Structure 1
Amino acid sequence: MTDVPMIFDGHNDFLLRLLRDPDQRRQTWLTDTGQGHLDLPRMKKGGFGGGFFAIYISSPDQPIDIDDMMAHPPYDVPLPPLIEHDAAQPTALAMAGHLKWMERASDGQFRICCTVAELRDCQAKGIISGIMHIEGAEPIAANLDALYLFHDMGLRSLGPVWSRPTVFGHGVPFAFPSSPDTGPGLTEAGKDLVRLCNELGIMLDLSHLNEAGFNDVAALSDAPLVATHSNAHAITPSARNLTDRQLDVIRDTGGMVGLNFATGFLNPDGAKAEDRGFDPMLRHLDHLIGRLGEDHVGFGSDFDGAQVPKAMADVAGLGAFRDALSAHGFDAPLLEKLCHNNWFGVLDRTWKA
């Protein structure tokens, strides 16, 4: 290991890029094309040690340009309708296959991990690690049978919803300014999903879940509460961000929050402007650390799924981000916690061998 702390990341959408252009997947993964945020060469350049790779099902025939609406706050983007599991499952299996292919194609440079011991071994050997994550549980039917199969394939993290509803619960809309208290919570199937994830040792991700659903998970789950890619509502009052009360609940369970790099959830005015440097990120980090404590905060970039600050540009810009953290006064022990140790700690408290 070098003196530069490797960054373990709570969320990315690289698999969606592979899904959209499978004929170019070797070039997209193994070469620096300058496209998107992630590829293997730029991960190495930026000191990206690994992270959660999301399986996410895009809404078909989405008539609304979400990015355009979010560029002009205030906004309240209507949510697309629920996707049935039989429509979602083939895409999810294809994306799980892409993740498995990435491991084989990397010639030992990338490994899918299911235990913290494997994550630490990868870090010690300079191997980039990946965790299979599902963002929005549409591929799982209400009977939950498919969850056992995905777990056998390596699934170790799951968000019951992306912002649109599922048979398990309701997500927050993309709305600014807005409270996350936007509708009903988990369904009975959603409560069963929480219990089975606890039993299997699958981490539950609260990002995108509305406040009522958050409260239901908090009441049911015996695991630390985790939001892989969310920010502080007190700084940026977006429905996607977490209130101080929610942060307190997460802290009290020994959970954590991964700072989302998406500009629309960072900038206090809700704008997607990318030219404001690292300042908004540092403001959110200060608030999150002040509320949660320094053992319960990490990073959840949303690379390849969101617009990030121009000062970072892509994963190769993580070095500049580290420099900004140091200049802000974060010392070496705190950087180690934020960059990876806090993620490893919460997973150690959540996963079951």
Structure 2
Amino acid sequence: MPMTDPSAPLVPVFDGHNDTLLRLEMRAGTARERSFFALADHDHIDLPRARAGGFAGGLFAMFVPSVRDLDFSRTLGPDDPRAFAGISQAEALDYTLRLMARALRIEAASAGEVRIARSSADIRACMAAGQLAMVLHIEGAEAIDPNFAALDILHAAGLRSIGPVWSRKNIFADGVPMAFPSSPDTGGGLTDLGRELIRRCDAMGILIDLSHITERGFWDVAEISDRPLIASHSNAHALCPSARNLTDRQLDAIAERGGLVGLNFHVAFLREDGRHSTDTPLETIVRHADHLIARMGEDHVGFGSDFDGCLVPGALKDVSGLPTLIDAFRRADYGEPLIRKIASENWLRVMERSRL
């Protein structure tokens, strides 16, 4: 199939996961400090490159790393104490508030180009107006206290999505390690507090993200929640046996519940050999999409790039390379209606079904 005409309109992309707020915070005060509004030659997302790639918005994660200057996207082992050490609730809340404040300041300084979206209707309005929609997401709920006061306050400030765990244990659940090869069945599930967190999030209209939770935790959430199951940035375990990927049985459950899996662009979650190599063809992403669609149907797959938190294929480079990825789907005979579903429409529909 021929490549896209450069003059043709870009396919709008709503993406399930990025770590851009964290990356901006980590760059502050260093030689590589950058503005969200200025074109940069490193990292993955800024506003100029987002515009060039058709990036219309996504879930912007607020993640608190155990070590602030550690690049957790590359070669960390499943037992690396630097990356997976626990952090206190006070420390996590302080850092989460810094990341949320950064998002609010980006919105305020954007002259209307960026908007923090608090509902599905907000996202659709942003896309119609050409505004970049930021949905605030917590990756690992360490910032939430056992009495859930922080949850109420963060929700009032704009929080709309939570992953109960990153790949480390906390008071709510066990996180799945970055292990390869490994099953995602690596530890315990939800604690009593974790079960209460799920119930409260369901009642408040906060999305629950299952991408970093153990398989046991996945089934615990499926039992408690009545909403669609969402894994915002995960791939098919059948093609890449990383603990971070989803088994076919999990994929079946997501489809049955009307949920969604966001394709993760991290090379170690795409490759059969699990290597951290940018020499990974874009067709590898398409192969995972093929498997997910064959297993779940075309309404349950989206993008969950993990931009600014992962190592992407060299041909993609950053968010401005999204049209190149779209072309890879065209070469695989994905028609335009299906491409638009994967690029944004499936995410919007599952958010609406989730009462966001």
Q: Give the TM bin, normalised by the shorter chain.
A: over 0.9
Q: Does 1:209 align with 2:213?
A: yes
For residue 54 of structure 2, what is the aligned residue in structure 1? 47
Q: 2:163 aligns with which of 159, 162, 170?
A: 159
Give the secondary-structure state (helix, strand or coil) at the position aligned to 1:133: strand
Q: Does 1:58 align with 2:68?
A: no
Cα distance between partner residues in 2 of 1:176 and 1:333: 35
Mind listing any 5+ residue stretches in structure 1 that lack a counterpart?
Answer: none
Count residues with an aligned counterpart: 347
Cα distance between partner residues in 1 of 2:305 and 2:51: 16
Cα distance between partner residues in 1 of 2:301 and 2:173: 26
Shift in Å, 1:4: 3.0
How do 1:330-345 residues align onto structure 2 when only pairs under 5 Å count? Answer: 330-345=334-349
Q: 1:100 aligns with which of 79, 101, 104?
A: 104
For residue 41 of structure 2, what is the aligned residue in structure 1? 34
Q: Does 1:133 align with 2:156?
A: no
Contact 1:259 1:299 in 2 (8 A): yes
Q: 1:169 aligns with which of 173, 177, 190?
A: 173
Q: 1:260 aligns with which of 247, 252, 264?
A: 264
Give the secondary-structure state (helix, strand or coil) at the position aligned to 2:244: coil
Contact 1:81 1:164 in 2 (8 A): yes
Q: 1:13 aligns with which of 15, 19, 35?
A: 19
Deviations 1:64-92 (A, max 9, x none): 9773356xxxx765662322211211100
For residue 201 of structure 2, what is the aligned residue in structure 1? 197
Give the secondary-structure state (helix, strand or coil) at the position aligned to 1:30: coil
CA RMSD in angstroms comes to: 1.9
Residues 64 and 157 of structure 1: CA distance in aligned 2, closer, same or farther (over 3 Å): closer
Shift in Å, 1:60: 3.2
Deviations 1:261-319 (A, max 9, x none): 00000011101111122121011010011111100100000000000000100001011
TM-score, normalisation: structure 1: 0.94
Shift in Å, 1:63: 9.1
Partner amino acid for 2:49?
A: R
Give the secondary-structure state (helix, strand or coil) at the position aligned to 1:68: coil
Partner amino acid for 2:250?
A: Q
Partner amino acid for 1:336?
A: R
Give the secondary-structure state (helix, strand or coil) at the position aligned to 2:141: coil
Shift in Å, 1:107: 1.2
Contact 1:230 1:259 in 2 (8 A): yes
Contact 2:186 2:215 in 1 (8 A): yes
Mind listing any 5+ residue stretches in structure 2 that lack a counterpart?
Answer: 1-7
Runs of 4+ in 1 over 6 A off after TM superposition: 61-66
Deviations 1:205-224 (A, max 9, x none): 00110001001000000110
Contact 1:11 1:51 in 2 (8 A): yes
Contact 1:156 1:351 in 2 (8 A): no
Q: 2:186 aligns with which of 182, 185, 193?
A: 182
For residue 120 of structure 1, what is the aligned residue in structure 2? 124
Identity %: 48
